[in-house]
Amino acid sequence: MSTPAPSYGPEQLAMIERLERDVQRQLESKPNRLAHSLSVASTAEELAVIYGVDPYLARVAGILHDWSKALPKGEVVRRSVELGIDLGVDPWLVQPLLHGVIASKELPSLYPELPPEVFRAISLHTTGAADMEPLDMVLFVSDGIEPLRPASAGIEKVRSLVGSVSLEELYWESFVGGIVYVIDGGRYLYPGTIEVYNALALRRRGGAEVAGKN
C-alpha cells in the first residue's frame, strides 16, 4: 500500500505524539506488541485514506488498540470481572478477546479529548460485530494485516484485496480468516463469533437463504 500521508493540524499532531509516547511507556516490557501497535496505526491510517474514513481517528485507534495487552492474563480476567464485562461464557475461555473491551472502558478517562468512535473501534477490534462502522472495520482489518504479522494464506488474501473490494468485503474476508485461524489451531471458538458470522453471511447474500424458503 502506498497512499499520500494525510496532513494533520498542530493539535492532532501533538495528540499523536503524546499517544505514541504513552503507548511506548505502557507497552515498555512488550516490544513486539509495541511495534505491532505502531504498525497497526500506520496501516489503519493508510486504509482510512483508501476507504474515505478519518485517518486521524484510525491512527489514534491503532496506537491505543492493544493498550490493555500490557496486563498479565490473570489480571485481564480479574479486571474484566471488576468492570462487569460479560461475554456470556467463562472469562478464561475468552481471555484473548477481553483486552479490547477493557481498554475501551479505561481509556476514555485518560483521553477525554478523543471521541467515542475511537473507543468503540478499540472495543470491537477483537470480537468484531455485525454492525461495524467504517472506523471499526478499518481497525479490525489493520490489526489482522499490518506488515509485521507473519504471512499466512488468509492474511495474504486480505492484503491483496485492499483497495480492490469494498471495506465491508475486506472486513468479511478478515473476519472469516480469523475464524479459520481459530479452527485450524483447534482453539476455542467464542459462540458470539458464530452469531456475528451468520449475521454477516446472511447480509452478504442479501438474505438469499431466507428468501429461498418462500
- Residues of this chain that bind Fe ion (CB under 5 A): 66, 143
Asked if 26 contacts 102 with a C-beta cutoff of 8 angstroms, the reply is no
What span, in angstroms and rounded, lies between the C-alpha atoms of 89 and 13? 41
Asked if 134 contacts 51 with a C-beta cutoff of 8 angstroms, the reply is yes
Closest separation between CB of residue 22 and Fe ion, Å? Answer: 16
**117 or 202: whose CB is closer to Fe ion?**
117
What span, in angstroms and rounded, lies between the C-alpha atoms of 126 and 141? 10
Closest separation between CB of residue 142 and Fe ion, Å? Answer: 9
Match 471499526 to its residue by C-alpha cell: 136
Closest separation between CB of residue 214 and Fe ion, Å? Answer: 42
Match 509495541 to its residue by C-alpha cell: 34
Closest separation between CB of residue 159 and Fe ion, Å? Answer: 16
The amino acid sitting at 179 is I
Q: Is the alpha carbon torsion for 69, 74, 77, 78 positive or negative?
A: negative
The amino acid sitting at 68 is S
**45 or 66: whose CB is closer to Fe ion?**
66
Closest separation between CB of residue 187 and Fe ion, Å? Answer: 15
Q: What Å distances lie between residue 75 and 22, 34, 92, 106, CA to CA?
A: 20, 19, 11, 14
**66 or 173: whose CB is closer to Fe ion?**
66
Closest separation between CB of residue 125 and Fe ion, Å? Answer: 6
**85 or 206: whose CB is closer to Fe ion?**
85
SS3 148: coil
The amino acid sitting at 17 is E
**15 or 141: whose CB is closer to Fe ion?**
141
**188 or 202: whose CB is closer to Fe ion?**
188
